[in-house]
Amino acid sequence: MNEINEPYTLIQNIVDATESLVIIIENDTPILMNKACCSFFGINSFDEYSSNFGNFVNNFVPHPAYFNMNKVEEGEKWTEVLNALEDKDKIVSMLNTSHEPRAFSVHVDSSHPSYIVLSLTDISANLIKRIMTENHVNIDEKSGAYTKEYFLHTSEILQDGAAFNEKEIGLTMINILNSNEDDISVMVNRIKESIRQTDMLVKWSSQKLLLAYLVEQEDNAVLLSKKLQEVMSTERSKGINFNISVTLVNKEEKLTTSIKRLNSVFEEESCNKMQLV
């Protein structure tokens, strides 16, 4: 191996080991980026990036809520302007290969006199969660359950939690028949009393509730769903009927695909029953 290239190779191997996007900057121009960064931009190498992309700062979406080139005055270096911001404001938005905006928290290491290291961590789901919570659109006011939109926009957090804790994601859907808004609200309160604080109870539609949770295995999901079935059964004296379906999210499966599977089993004949799908 060429001894001159050994330090470069070592640095490349180190930055490739992290999941965050890492870019080494010299004079406001990237000179190295890691595999995660190349994957985000849909390229095979840094050389390919250099040939097909312009200034790195141009990747930042010009949105007033995030740092971008519009916030840099003439004569200023964008890296210095970014580094001078408070940590909470060091957020940028970039488009992935599917042209979807992703939000990143940026850590700037300027300890070296000649180089700056940027480390960008994807915070899209957490940022949406914060924004929706601050604007009070995370909770359905009539039922008290989480909104469907909030659940779908922040589902990455649930999936990351499952992966980190090496657990499965369980989903239980309750279809409440011949009910009204007051009935749904009562059921939400009853269910909340019997689940954990980490479980997410979602108002999926006018008559459907979805419970999302982490479990060790399928049996645990069934036990939790049977507990919900018992809660629902106490309401039958009020003329409220229901059916329940439960499933685990398969590996590499989208949550929306799993939920479609839950929806597909609901039939009037299965009234007051629970089905594992």
Neighbour tally for 183: CB within 10 Å: 18
pLDDT tens column, 181-193? 888 898 999 999 9
Dihedral over Cα of 178, 181, 182, 186: its sign: positive
Dihedral over Cα of 210, 216, 218, 219: its sign: negative
Domain count, the chain: 2
The predicted pLDDT at position 239 comes to 74
pLDDT tens column, 108-136? 999 998 999 999 999 999 999 988 899 88
| Residue 167, both tokens | 């657990």
Interatomic CA distance for residues 109 and 93, integer angstroms: 19
pLDDT tens column, 64-116? 889 999 999 999 999 999 999 999 999 999 999 989 899 999 999 999 989 99
Residue after which a domain boundary falls, among 70, 90, 122: 122
Identify the CATH number of the domain in which residue 83 sits.
3.30.450.20
pLDDT tens column, 13-39? 888 888 999 999 998 899 999 999 999
* pTM > 0.75: yes
Residue after which a domain boundary falls, among 72, 102, 122: 122
Is 77 found in the same domain as 173? no
Check residue 139 and report its DSSP letter.
B
Is 262 found in the same domain as 185? yes
The predicted pLDDT at position 1 comes to 43
Identify the CATH number of the domain in which residue 174 sits.
3.30.70.270
pLDDT at 4 over 80: no
Is 96 found in the same domain as 182? no
For residue 170, the enclosing domain spans 127-276
Is 49 found in the same domain as 134? no
